[in-house]
Structure 1
Amino acid sequence: MSQTWIISGPPGCGKTSWILNTFKNHSGNCGYVRLGGYSEINLEQAINSKIDFAFLKDQIPNLLDLSSSKLPLEVEKENILIIIEFPQFFIPKFQGISGIDLRVIKELEINNLQPNKYLHFGRDLELPIKDTLDFKAIESCSIDLKKNIWDPASLNTFWFELVNGAYGDVYRAKALMNLPDGRYILFNWILTQKGSQYQTLNQVAPLNGRPERHSEIVIQGKNLNFQLIKSTINNCLLSDAVLEHHQATLRNSQLQTSRN
């Protein structure tokens, strides 16, 4: 039996982690789509980030991307669990399906999706509430970093500065970063947590140039210095020449190891 759920909540409440665990406990096919959400007065939504799908796909390789044009065919798969992730600042006025934002209903109708379950962080007891914050004002900054690779030491310094207020009051920061040794790392920070979370993903890029996979950083907070953030990031990224030097050293090291 197919199921279609909507999971909504404010930034950093744990939507994606909960969705991952739910997918892992489902015995059939799984499909995912993330909606962009709607900005409110003084509350700016982040752009429709692809970080969440890239992370979920890394953890569940067979996960179906239901944002594609093949959506109607995918929905017909037997025993599929479809989860629609939707960022939303406010608790819905009504319980269950009746509480879905009418604008979301229209989006779903266009994509032939009919939810039969709706859960919101901070309202429904099935969901944890530890990191559910009531935001009064928030700004958002999203930077596409595809094909960019970070200098590891500079990345560590930048992230430490970021979450400790050097670029404004950061409530939420999430990123997928490429490193020169081919690693793909998820960075995650929320005001309510003790320290940042780091997870090295399963994908490892070959040591021969810039990977095509998604890379991005999303920052949400107040009084953010967008220009300083962007200029600092640019200074942390490797040029083609420096990247080739790093990768050549790593390739030679791997070659020597295989010979021994």
Structure 2
Amino acid sequence: MSQTWLISGSPGCGKTSWILKTMQGHQGKCGYLRLDGYPSKGLEQVSDSGIDKAFLKDQFPQLIDLSDSHHASRSQQGDLLTLIELPQFQAPQHAGLTDMDPRVKNQLETLQLHPDRHLHFGRDPELPNKDTLEFKKLESFSLSLNTSVWDPPSLNTFWFELVNGAYGDVYRAKGLMNLPDGRSIFFNWIVSQESSQFLPLQEISDPNGRPRSLSELVVQGKHLDCLRIQSTIDLCLLNDAVLEMHQMPLRDRQKEAIPST
């Protein structure tokens, strides 16, 4: 029997992690959709950068993408668990589906999705509330880094500076970062955590030019110095010549590892 759950909560509360754990514990097929949330007074939402979907797809390759109506029709398949992620600052007053935002309801109807449950972090006891924070003011910054490759030491320095206030009061930061050896690293931090999460994705690109995998950065906080963030990142990225210097030895080692016939 198919089920469709709407999972909402404030930035960094753990929506994506909980969704992944739930998928991994489900015996049947799983579908996923992330909706854009809506801003509130003084609170900016971040548009869907694709980070969450890319991370989930890497960790759960059989995941069905329900971001268009063609795939959404597959939600009618038997034993499919559909999990819809929604960034939402305020909890609905009542449990269940009665207080769903009409704008969200319209999005779902367009995609032919009809939730059976609506769970919100900080309201429903089934969900952990360790990282559920209330924000009174929140600015957002996002940056596409597709085809960009980081110098690893510079990336470590930048991330340390970012989460420790060098570019404003950062409450939430996450990103997918490409390294010259073909790895892509998921970076994740929220102010309620003691440290950042760094998770290499399973898929590794060939060390042959610039990667095609998604790479994005999302930052939320107050008094963000977006120009300094951008200019610092520009200094941390490898140009073509330096990237080739990193990748040539990797390709040579790959050739040496291939047995001769």
Do both share a fold (TM > 0.5)?
A: yes
Three-state SS of the structure 2 residue aligned to 1:122 is: coil
Say whether residues 1:14 and 2:33 are aligned partners.
Answer: no
Matches within 5 A, 1:221-260: 221-256=221-256
Please, which moves more after superposition, 73-82 or 117-126? Answer: 73-82
Counterpart for residue 26 of structure 1: 26
Deviation per CA, 1:143-162, whole angstroms, max 9, x where unpaired? 01111111101100100000
- Residue 216 (structure 1) aligned with residue 219 (structure 2): no
Letter in structure 2 aligned against 1:157: T
Distance 2:77 2:239 in 1: 45
Structure 1 unaligned regions, length at least 5: none
Please say if 1:99 is aligned against 2:106.
Answer: no
- Show the counterpart of 1:182: 182
Residue type matched to 2:59 in 1? Answer: Q
Measured in 2, the distance between the counterparts of 1:87 and 1:49 equals 13
Q: 1:195 is matched with which residue?
A: 195
* TM-score after normalising by structure 2: 0.97
Contact 2:73 2:112 survives alignment (8 Å): no
User: What residue is the counterpart of 1:60 in the other structure?
Assistant: 60
Q: Secondary structure at the match of 1:106?
A: helix
Say which SS state the counterpart of residue 255 (structure 1) adopts.
helix
Q: Which amino acid is 1:43 matched to?
A: L
User: Structure 1-normalised TM-score?
Assistant: 0.97
SS at match of 1:70: helix
Structure 1 residue 253 displacement after superposition: 3.1
Once the two structures are superposed, residues 225-260 of structure 1 have per-residue CA deviations (whole angstroms, 9 ceiling, x without a partner) of 001101111111111111111100221233345579
C-alpha separation between the residues in 2 aligned to 1:202 and 1:34? 22
| Equivalent residue number for residue 140 of structure 1 | 140
Q: What does residue 110 of structure 1 align with? A: 110
Retained in 1: the 8 A contact 2:68–2:111? no
Work out the CA distance in 1 between the residues paired with 2:63 and 2:99. 27
The residue that corresponds to 1:40 in the other structure is 40
Report the number of matched residues.
Answer: 260
Structure 2, unmatched stretches of 5+, are none
C-alpha displacement of 1:70: 1.5
Which amino acid in structure 2 is aligned with residue 10 of structure 1? S
Query: Counterparts of 1:243 and 1:69 in 2: how far apart (Å)?
Result: 40
Measured in 1, the distance between the counterparts of 2:103 and 2:212 equals 33
Question: Residue in 1 aligned with 2:124?
Answer: 124
Q: Provide the rounded CA distance (Å) in 1 between the counterparts of 2:99 and 2:192.
A: 27
CA distance in 2, matches of 1:73, 1:123: 30
Q: 3-state DSSP class of the match of 1:253?
A: helix
**Distance in 2, Cα, partners of 1:99 & 1:215:** 35
User: How many Å separate the matches in 2 of 1:257 and 1:190?
Assistant: 41
Q: Secondary structure at the match of 2:74?
A: helix
Hey, what's the Cα distance between the residues in 1 that align with 2:196 and 2:88? 23
Match of 2:49 in 1: 49
User: RMSD in angstroms over aligned alpha carbons?
Assistant: 1.3
Give the AA of the match of 1:95: A
Distance 1:204 1:96, change over 3 A: same
Q: Distance in 2 between matches of 1:159 and 1:149?
A: 15
Residue in structure 2 matched with residue 170 of structure 1 by the alignment: 170
1:181 Cα deviation after fit: 0.3
